[in-house]
C-alpha cells in the first residue's frame, strides 16, 4: 500500500513513521489515522523491525491536532466513530511487541499529545509545545487524552491542562513527567535514533516482555503486576536470545542477539 499522508522508512531494524502533511501542520484526519494503522500492520509483520519511531515532517509540527476542517462538519455519530477509530489505532500502538519512541519536533496539541502518549516514551525538541486545548473549541479530548495524561503526570496536572487548554513548553512537559528528554531541534532525531539503535541491539523477546508487562501491570495492583512479571520472566528464558545473553556474559563477550522469539 502506498501512503499519501505519512512516510514509512525501515532501516537497521528501526521503522520510522512520519506524519507528512506539513502544510496542515500534520493534522490528523480519518485518512491519516487509517494510513498509520496500515503502517503499524506492516511493521508488526516485519520480524526484522525491533523499534519504531513516530515523528512529523517539517520544522513546525509533530502533530498539531485533529483536522478541524473535517471535525467541524461531522455529525455526533461521525465524531464518535472518529474518536473510536483513533483510539483503536493508539491502543494498537501500545499493544505492539516493539517499543515506539515519539520524537516530537514541534507542536503536539490535542491529538498530537495523545498520539505521543501512546508511544512508550517521548523525546522532544526545545521547540516542541504540548497541550490538550480541545476545551477552547467547546469539546474534550477524544483520543484518550483524559485517561493517558492523568496516568502519566497525575490528575492535578492533567486536569489543569485539559480544563484550561493551556499549552506548555517542552521543558515544563519534562518537569511534570510527560517528556523523558529535551534536545536542541537539530539534535532531536540523531538522539532519538541513538536510543532506538541501543534498544534494537537488545533481545526481541525481552523488549516485548518488558513493554507488555509494564503496560498491563499499570492497570492492576502490585501483587498481580509482580505475578505477571514472574510469568514473563520465565517465558523470556525460553528465547534463544536469553541463552545467548547469559552465555555471552559468562564468556565475557558482547552478546549477538538474533531477535528470535
Q: Which residues are catalytic?
A: 114, 134
Measured from the Cβ of residue 121, the count of other Cβ atoms closer than 10 Å reads 16
8 Å CB contact between 217 and 209: no
Burial of 241 (0-12, 13-18, 19+ CB in 10 A): buried
Beta strands 167-169; 121-125: pairing state: unpaired
Query: Phi and psi at residue 100, in whole multiples of 5°?
Result: -125, 130
8 Å CB contact between 119 and 100: yes
Rounded CA-CA distance 222/132 in Å is 30
3-state helix, strand, coil split of the chain in percent (to 5) is 50, 15, 30
Count CA atoms closer than 13 A to 143's CA, side-chain side: 27
Compute, in degrees rounded to 10, the torsion defined by CA atoms 142, 122, 20, 150: 10
List the grid coordinates of 217.
501491570
Encode 177-199: b = buried (16+ Cβ within 10 Å), e = exposed: ebbeebbeeeebbebbbebbeeb
Amino acid at each position: 500500500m502506498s501512503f499519501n499522508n505519512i512516510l514509512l522508512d525501515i532501516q537497521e531494524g528501526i521503522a520510522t513513521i512520519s506524519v507528512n502533511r506539513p502544510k496542515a501542520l500534520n493534522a490528523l484526519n480519518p485518512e491519516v489515522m487509517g494510513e498509520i494503522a496500515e503502517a503499524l500492520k506492516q511493521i508488526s509483520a516485519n520480524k526484522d523491525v525491533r523499534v519504531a519511531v513516530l515523528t512529523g515532517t517539517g520544522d513546525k509540527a509533530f502533530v498539531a491536532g485533529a483536522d478541524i476542517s473535517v471535525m467541524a462538519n461531522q455529525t455526533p455519530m461521525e465524531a464518535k466513530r472518529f474518536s473510536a477509530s483513533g483510539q483503536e489505532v493508539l491502543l494498537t500502538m501500545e499493544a505492539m511487541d516493539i517499543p515506539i519512541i515519539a520524537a516530537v519536533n514541534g507542536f503536539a496539541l490535542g491529538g498530537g499529545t495523545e498520539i505521543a502518549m501512546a508511544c512508550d516514551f517521548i523525546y522532544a525538541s526545545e521547540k516542541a509545545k504540548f497541550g490538550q486545548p480541545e476545551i477552547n473549541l467547546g469539546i474534550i479530548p477524544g483520543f484518550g487524552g483524559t485517561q493517558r495524561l492523568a496516568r502519566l503526570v497525575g490528575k492535578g496536572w492533567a486536569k489543569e491542562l485539559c480544563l484550561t487548554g493551556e499549552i506548555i513548553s517542552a521543558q515544563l512537559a519534562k518537569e511534570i513527567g510527560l517528556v523523558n528528554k529535551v534536545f536542541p531541534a537539530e539534535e532531536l532525531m540523531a538522539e532519538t535514533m541513538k536510543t532506538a539503535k541501543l534498544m534494537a541491539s537488545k533481545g526481541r523477546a525481552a523488549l516485548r516482555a518488558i513493554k507488555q508487562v509494564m503496560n498491563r501491570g499499570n492497570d492492576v495492583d502490585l501483587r498481580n503486576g509482580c505475578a505477571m512479571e514472574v510469568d514473563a520472566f520465565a517465558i523470556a528464558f525460553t528465547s534463544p536470545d536469553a541463552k545467548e545473553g547469559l552465555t555471552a556474559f559468562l564468556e565475557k563477550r558482547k552478546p549477538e542477539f538474533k531477535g528470535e522469539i
